[in-house]
């Protein structure tokens, strides 16, 4: 049986439920074996995976797949294996004084069947990192990858089917209708990565079953350039992060706030940085294509709308080659003079367009960020510690990288997740293990317990004990 066959989703879900019922607390050795099989899947088929992703995009840099997907997955596997025994352990916690000499502990218990819906932009990483957490926690897993990367999705389905039984870990391929049916299953936990709009629909579908949901969404992640920042160093880092995967990254900097007097200097520095990294775009394997014609047209429409409303669109054209809609290699562009009426400042961009806005004071920059939906990521550049601390304390975002971009996602000991419109819940490392576990509280009574003192019939003794307890609070 292969995971790509048109299996009835309810029957498949029932198989996984039955398998979990037969082994509801897999031992450490079973969990490690599942993680080991997943690692071999990635290591033995890395080139095949990278080729499939590149074919789906039109061109996807193999280096970017290695850096942004394979290394992160392998790091998650290594970190999980290293800490799994500790995470699984029943751990003692302090017992309230009035219940001594009893003892309290927490037992991390698998939830059951976990559903994962992954997107197209990082199809390996965003499918397997949550799957690693779910398998480590002892769950059965059903995964629905994106239909926008069909070659990769089918390859992943085939590779998983070769290494896992269908009631253990399975990949369900299909279109948006399959996705809608998938999220309506009564999973014990549902994990979704994608757009905010679709995330709302997923949350509604899950609510019908009271299924707990982790939503990893997106939004407009700002970068604030402080007056104390080195502009060229900042521009190089922003360009590298913005143009990684051609901007098709949920935590890509979506717009930049720069001191008003330095916007032109920043634009020049950013242009220099782009030309350093990409001397030409035509035939350049380092520069990733936009995933499909619809997304390419959407990005072009954002730039056209901004231009028609008065923005200055500075197209950075390394090598002087013509615009390449057929290859979907969209030219990196800076957008100056943007305002809130423009679509590019209302929608998540997900491409190589970078709006730049000037600000007069740090108060103004912070107020601008806080007037908008809470972003998945925020970036701050500078040397002024006071200003850095103000931004960290006075803004709310899913995560922050200071003096660089993207790198908070690569830290296994940091939770990764959104807030508000950018998502709910967080994973990576132990945080992922916990969201796919029920942390069961256990109180164990002692033979020496004095609870009999507070049983009916109540009288003077009970009153005395109550007064004593209240004095000790």
Catalytically active residues are 216, 250
**With left for phi above 0 and alpha for psi between -120 and 50, is residue 252 left, alpha or beta?**
beta
Query: Is there a contact between 290 and 246 (Cβ–Cβ < 8 Å)?
Result: yes
DSSP-derived letter for residue 324 is: B
Sign of CA dihedral 453, 454, 457, 459: positive
Sign of CA dihedral 84, 40, 57, 213: negative
Burial class (CB within 10 angstroms; exposed 0-12, middle 13-18, buried 19+) of 360: exposed
Helices 9-22 & 176-183, crossing angle to 10 degrees? 40
Query: Is there a contact between 129 and 427 (Cβ–Cβ < 8 Å)?
Result: yes
Q: Nearest 5°: CA angle at 140, between 137 and 141? A: 100
Q: Give residues with Cβ within 8 angstroms of 451, minimum separation 6.
A: 445
C-alpha distances in angstroms, 296 versus 4, 41, 50, 351? 29, 32, 22, 9
Sign of CA dihedral 48, 50, 53, 58: negative
Helix (H, G, I), strand (E, B) or coil at 359: strand
């Amino acid at each position: 049986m292969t995971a790509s066959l048109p299996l009835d989703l309810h029957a498949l879900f029932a198989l996984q439920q039955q398998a979990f019922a037969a082994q509801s607390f897999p031992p450490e050795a079973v969990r490690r074996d599942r993680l080991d099989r997943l690692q071999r899947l990635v290591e033995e088929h890395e080139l095949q995976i990278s080729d499939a992703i590149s074919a789906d995009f039109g061109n996807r840099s193999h280096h970017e797949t290695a850096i942004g997907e394979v290394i992160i997955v392998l790091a998650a596997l290594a970190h999980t294996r290293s800490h799994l025994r500790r995470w699984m352990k029943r751990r003692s916690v302090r017992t309230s004084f009035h219940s001594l000499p009893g003892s309290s502990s927490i037992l991390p218990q698998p939830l059951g069947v976990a559903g994962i819906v992954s997107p197209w932009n990082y199809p390996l990483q965003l499918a397997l990192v949550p799957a690693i957490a779910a398998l480590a926690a002892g769950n059965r897993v059903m995964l629905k990858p994106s239909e926008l990367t069909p070659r990769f999705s089918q390859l992943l389905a085939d590779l998983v089917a070769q290494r896992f039984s269908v009631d253990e870990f399975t990949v369900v391929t299909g279109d948006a209708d399959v996705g809608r049916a998938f999220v309506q299953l009564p999973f014990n936990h549902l994990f979704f990565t994608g757009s905010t709009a679709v995330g709302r629909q997923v949350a509604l579908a899950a609510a019908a079953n009271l299924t707990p949901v982790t939503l990893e969404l997106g939004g407009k992640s700002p970068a604030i350039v402080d007056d104390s920042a080195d502009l060229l160093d900042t521009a190089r880092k922003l360009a590298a992060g913005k143009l990684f995967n051609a901007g098709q990254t949920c935590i890509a900097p979506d717009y930049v706030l720069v001191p008003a007097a330095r916007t032109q200097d920043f634009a020049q520095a950013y242009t220099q940085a782009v030309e350093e990294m990409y001397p030409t775009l035509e035939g350049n394997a380092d520069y990733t294509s936009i995933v499909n014609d619809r997304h390419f047209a959407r990005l072009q429409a954002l730039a056209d709308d901004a231009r028609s409303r008065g923005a200055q669109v500075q197209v950075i054209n390394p090598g002087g080659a013509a615009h390449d809609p057929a290859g979907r290699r969209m030219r990196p562009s800076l957008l100056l003079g943007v305002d809130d009426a423009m679509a590019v400042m209302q929608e998540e961009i997900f491409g190589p367009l970078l709006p730049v806005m000037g600000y007069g004071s740090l108060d103004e920059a912070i107020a601008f960020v806080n007037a908008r939906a809470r972003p998945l990521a925020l970036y701050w550049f500078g040397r002024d510690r006071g200003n850095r601390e103000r931004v960290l304390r006075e803004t709310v975002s899913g995560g922050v990288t200071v003096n660089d971009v993207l790198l908070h996602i690569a830290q296994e000991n940091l939770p990764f997740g959104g807030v508000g419109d950018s998502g709910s819940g967080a994973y990576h490392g132990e945080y992922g293990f916990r969201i796919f576990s029920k942390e069961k509280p256990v109180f164990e009574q002692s033979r020496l317990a004095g609870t009999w003192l507070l049983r009916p019939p109540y009288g003077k003794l009970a009153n005395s004990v109550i007064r004593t307890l209240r004095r000790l609070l």
